[in-house]
Amino acid sequence: MKRIAISPPIAAVLLAITLFLLSGLLPNGFGSNPEVAIPQAVNILRLSVFLGVIAAGQTLVVISGAEGIDLSSGAVVTLTAIVTYSIVKGQNENVLPALLVVLVVGAAIGFVNGIGVTFLNISPLVMTLGMSGVVSGLILVVTQGNVSGAIAPIMTQLIARPVFLGIPGAIVIWILFGVLMWLLLERTTFGKQLFAIGTNRTTARLSGVNVTGMVLGTYALAGLLAGLGGFLVVGNTGVVHIRIGDPFLVPSIAAVAVGGTLLSGGKGSYWGTMAGALVLTLITSLLTTMQMPESVRRMVLGATLLIMISLYGRQRSLRQ
């Protein structure tokens, strides 16, 4: 009998739908009241946006192979959120300059990560973990734990409020962002070369791919996307603190794994990461509804990541 294979993105979406429907069996579950089921679903999708954008850079780094990972993304999100908050100061005309600054800051940090990985031959895990410590320390030194500023009204209007048929602006932004990521990975030379270096860097180099340039560009782009994530996060919450990006680190890695991107590199998609972000946000929302403490939520997310890593190990052995 021929086995029917379901792609990871579709499997993740089906899992999210199943979890949402089963939540109706819980007291105050999402599906317990049909009148609030759709608004709840829209809200969960909106909350998935910020994790999904931050996980986009993680997706690129993982696809690049060589045990690529970015453990500095949480610190970059915090830094860029603080920079956004400080520059905007409640003025609409400051939003675009703030966005440009945070994109440059994020890209610069990612570029330094790339330099450490390529020229200093530092493990991506060690390099990005060290950079996370540097950025976190810099935040403490500069802010002394106090951040002043404010978001602009236009940020709330474009990110948190409905802009089209009752759909929040964040979701519209994410859909457009997903299309751009798909085009980048599937319809550009950069995307093709990214998958090539993730599969086998020696073969890619012999085929004429500038592996060093690709790795530098990938880490810089990952930092830029983390910076964009920080901008969107503070635009949604309206407030900022010196640990605002920490909750996104492990879920951003887990979203990539849940979405079917091989942690060995060379295979994956951003559609899968989007689905993974949706699943993880739904799980977190369910645990919150069940009034589970933060410690339990972290344990569940960590267990999810470990399970996917174990499956990744089996996939890698099959590839070999």
pLDDT tens digits, one per residue of 246-265: 889 988 988 898 888 888 88
Among 256, 274, 269, 270, smallest CA distance to 312 is for 256
Q: Are 259 and 246 in contact (CB under 8 A)?
A: no
Q: Is residue 187 part of a domain?
A: yes
Q: Is residue 296 part of a domain?
A: no
What is this structure's pTM?
Answer: 0.87
Among 173, 209, 199, smallest CA distance to 56 is for: 173
Beta bridge mates, 28: none
Q: Is residue 295 part of a domain?
A: no
CA atoms of 278 and 282, how far apart (whole Å): 6
Mean pLDDT of the chain: 84
Domain presence at residue 270: no
Nearest CA-CA partner of 194 in 209, 177, 173? 209
**Terminal Cα-to-Cα distance of the chain (whole angstroms):** 26
Q: What mean pLDDT is predicted for residues 91-108?
A: 94
**Has residue 127 been placed in a domain?**
yes
Q: What is the largest CA-CA distance in the chain?
A: 65
What is the C-alpha separation between 92 and 118, in angstroms, rounded? 40
Classify residue 11: in a domain, yes or no: no
What's the pLDDT score for residue 118? Answer: 93
Q: What pLDDT, on a 0 to 100 scale, did the predictor assign at position 95?
A: 92
* pLDDT, tens only, 210-230: 999 999 999 999 999 999 999
Domain span including residue 133: 48-245
Domain membership flag for residue 188 = yes
Residue 66 within a domain? yes
Count of the separate structural domains present in the chain:
1
Q: Decide if 254 contacts 304 (C-beta within 8 A).
A: yes
